[in-house]
């Protein structure tokens, strides 16, 4: 891994970990921990889209997708680094809680573009629009999910 790519990946990790989880909806312990094969940590390790979909279905939030245009999948689809659900007041949510969407976008875009990365942001209104990133194989950046996966994520949302 080159120095630029390593620095970029460290900056991405720092951005994802640094946002403050200070507001509902926060994840809570599901009543039946065996109702899904996904554990809450998966929502920060490759399954953030499932949690964002649960928020979208429950509250009607839109999707904020952090992408890297330097890494492409089949059909030119860019790599996805994280997905938030965003309310109409500009708050972005993931399994850690509420964040300022404007700050997230600014931090992501502030990552210095270079030979190995081209950070960008997409705003997507519908679950169907998000599906262009989802596949059962390595042709797209996000893994497929089941209805049970989304229902399990919905069960972790606090009322």
- Residue 141 has a pLDDT of 93
What average pLDDT does the segment 124-133 reach?
96
Q: For residues 22 and 123, what is the distance between their CA atoms, to the nearest angstrom?
A: 23
pLDDT above 70: percentage of residues in the chain: 70
Q: Distance between CA 24 and CA 98 in Å, rounded?
A: 7
Number of domains the chain contains:
1
What six digits make up the tokens of 90? 């500009």
Which has the higher per-residue pLDDT, 41 or 76?
76
DSSP label at residue 23: S
Mean pLDDT on 59-81:
93
H helices within 60-146, ranges in order? Answer: 101-110, 127-130
Whole-model pTM: value is 0.74
């Amino acid at each position: 891994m080159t120095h630029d790519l390593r620095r970029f990946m460290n900056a991405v990790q720092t951005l994802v970990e640094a946002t403050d989880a200070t507001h509902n909806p926060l994840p809570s312990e599901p009543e039946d921990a065996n109702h899904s094969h996904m554990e809450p940590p998966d929502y920060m390790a490759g399954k953030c889209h499932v949690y964002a979909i649960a928020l979208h279905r429950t509250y009607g939030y839109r999707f904020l997708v952090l992408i890297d245009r330097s890494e492409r999948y089949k059909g030119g689809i860019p790599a996805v680094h994280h997905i938030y659900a965003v309310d109409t007041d500009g708050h972005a949510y993931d399994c850690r809680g509420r964040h300022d969407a404007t700050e997230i976008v600014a931090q992501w875009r502030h990552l210095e573009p270079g030979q190995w990365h081209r950070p960008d942001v997409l705003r997507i209104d519908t679950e169907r629009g998000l599906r262009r990133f989802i596949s059962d194989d390595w042709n797209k950046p996000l893994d497929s999910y089941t209805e049970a996966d989304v229902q399990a994520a919905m069960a972790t949302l606090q009322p």
